[in-house]
Amino acid sequence: MSEVLTTRQVAHLCGVSFRTVIRWIERGLLQSYRLPGRGDYRVPLGELQRFMLENGIPNAAGSGGEVGEALGARKVLITEDDPGMASAISRVLDRAGYETVVASDGFAAGAMLYRFQPAVMTLDLRMPGLDGLGVLRYLQRANLPFSLKVLVISADSEARQREALELGAHAVLAKPFENEALVAGVAALFAQA
């Protein structure tokens, strides 16, 4: 789990808008630092825990768990070979408060699963080497030490999308898609976890 959080992640955990978080930072109530270049704020996890405790803010993202646990549960592994599409999916989900990493093919996804331990994986069906259906077959045999939901994101045929569902995918989102549909699809899978 990351030891620093974006303002959107802080907002989600505190149950406020990210603009409120920025006001807390600008008033010196919540310590942070700015990234060079873009100037985005980052809040150390320990500082957020201190701030929430001192101000009696309940963790809006979890049910009695630690702040770090709630954030850790918001991990998404994006499995997509098209760099532009992977970047677009990552950007949308990052803005929605998810922590994301990208695997550019099925083999990389398999290797990253155990290290990153995501709660949700987005999966393209057409990739070089091990394609999305191959990843789903692998997941059927794998004994993962954590719960994983799979959202197939594909422009592939309806028959292959149905096959993905039969192989264990939890939902399918057809390309092209609206950003809101992506966020809603991922949120629905987190709600099932």
**Residues 40-50: tens digit of each pLDDT:** 888 888 888 88
Residue 73 has what pLDDT? 61
Which of 111 and 171 is assigned the larger pLDDT?
171
Residue 1 reports pLDDT greater than 50: no
Q: How far apart are CA 82 and CA 177, in angstroms?
A: 15
The model's confidence at residue 16, banded by pLDDT at 50, 70 and 90, is: confident
The structure's pTM equals 0.66
pLDDT band at 102 (very low <50, low <70, confident <90, very high): very high
pLDDT at 37 exceeding the cut of 90: no
Domain spanning 4-69 has what CATH number?
1.10.1660
4-69 with 74-192: one CATH topology? no
**Is the predicted pLDDT of residue 173 greater than 50, yes or no?**
yes
For helices 83-95 and 179-192, the axis angle rounded to 10 degrees is 70
Per-domain residue ranges of the chain = 4-69, 74-192
Confidence of residue 63 (pLDDT cuts 50, 70, 90): very low
Flag whether pLDDT at 35 surpasses 90.
no
Mean pLDDT of the chain: 86
What percentage of the chain's residues is helix, strand, coil (to nearest 5)? 45, 15, 35
Q: Which amino acid is at 150?
A: V
The predicted pLDDT at position 66 comes to: 54
pLDDT value at 3 more than 80: no
Query: Maximum CA pair distance of the chain?
Result: 55
Q: Which of 101, 102, 100 lies closest to 81 in space, CA to CA?
A: 102
The alpha carbons of the chain give a radius of gyration, in whole angstroms, of 18
Pick 52 or 160 by higher pLDDT.
Answer: 160
Question: What superfamily does domain 74-192 belong to in CATH?
Answer: Response regulator (3.40.50.2300)
